[in-house]
Amino acid sequence: MPIPNPDYPFKKVPIPEPIRKDGAGASDLGPRDIARDLENPDMLIPPVTDAGNVPNLKFSFSDTHMNLYHGGWSREVTQRELPIATTLAGVNMRLKPGGVRELHWHKEAEWAYMLQGKARISAVDQEGHNFVDDVEEGELWYFPPGIPHSIQGMEEGCEFLLVFDDGSFSESHTFNISDWLAHTPKDVLATNFGLEIKDFEQLAEKRKFIFQSEVPPGIESQTIKGPKGFPPEGFSFNLMAQKAIKTSGGCARIVDSTNFPISKTIAAALVEIEPGGIREMHWHPNNDEWQYFIKGKGRMTVFASAETARTFNYNPGDVGYVPFAFGHYIQNTGDEKLVFLEMFKSNRFADISLNQWMALSPKEVVKDNIDASPALMAALRKEKWPIVK
């Protein structure tokens, strides 16, 4: 019987059943999560081309544990939630206006993309260079391992995605300044800073992590003239100012060490696909791919070799993952633009297009390998190898 569509509350849609048009399958008698089945039509009724046992390549931030603080919240998708994701892990974080992610550092590199709002970031490197900048929607930052930094929400607050170059990373294992001082004898603190023990009686007794403060003043008042000045390689980057690779099906903006030199372990592309468009069939020759879906609806079939493939559906807030060298595409299945990030533990963005490979191979070999039609062979001769079509 019809039920309310979670995307359009005033419309009715049939309850989906795991039955193909050819009659394969049977109705699901329940119990079941119908709303979840509506979100995953190609998982409920896999295409006939799916085969074998490809592991799960999807996890939603909506299914994670939410950590709530007075200054905002955080949640993470790591190898714990998505076991196959060994190369990268992600944290979704929200800071209220004035909310602070306290002074801290990591053993891992931190790459971040601002989803909404504006934040002030600060950092100091091992050479004594200091850095303060305001980062807005569409901009990003990168802090190498061990570099101390902080993040604070500006007037409207902010929400951002953090990506770390280790799948087993967890925010609970970061090095926080309040945590360190709380676990250092006060007589040692007094000696270290040349003060009296009484001067440390008011210190926080445990880590603050995310706490509420006042919205920071103008950036000029917080830009401290350090002994070395700004680092020669800045920690922030305006991705939306990067020239996009545009095609009829959408566009892509790439950021890696070639245009953001300090980002030595994470490369990324922000991809936009118009309705009816597709991120063409391809694979990556350098590392696994970690995806974050920002807007729209999409699906991806991952080809894992040895006659195995599996199709997944993705919605905003979902994380996707493609193991090294697995073939795949990403298709816009909705009626609005599909926007997502694809990221790699690498200093360079690299992919190999199926279309390009076929077009640059001897035509007789291609034709004989796949029994290609004349129309396909003609199309390959015109191929310009766009990222999205």
**How far is it, in rounded angstroms, from Cα 292 to Cα 320?**
6
Two tokens, residue 292? 């974050």
Tell me the C-alpha distance between 147 and 126, whole Å: 7
Side-chain half-sphere exposure of 302, counting CA atoms within 13 A: 22
| CA trace torsion 111, 323, 20, 276 (10° rounding) | 50
Cβ pair 325, 319 in contact under 8 A: no
* Beta carbons within 8 Å of 125's beta carbon, 6+ residues apart: 131, 144, 147, 231
Q: Which of 233, 272, 342, 364 is catalytic?
A: 342
CA distance 163 to 342: 11
Tokens of 46: 């896999």
Give alpha helix (H) positions in 60-194.
177-182, 186-193
Report the C-alpha gap between 241 and 353 in whole angstroms.
26
Q: Does residue 342 have an active-site annotation?
A: yes
| Residues classed as catalytic | 342
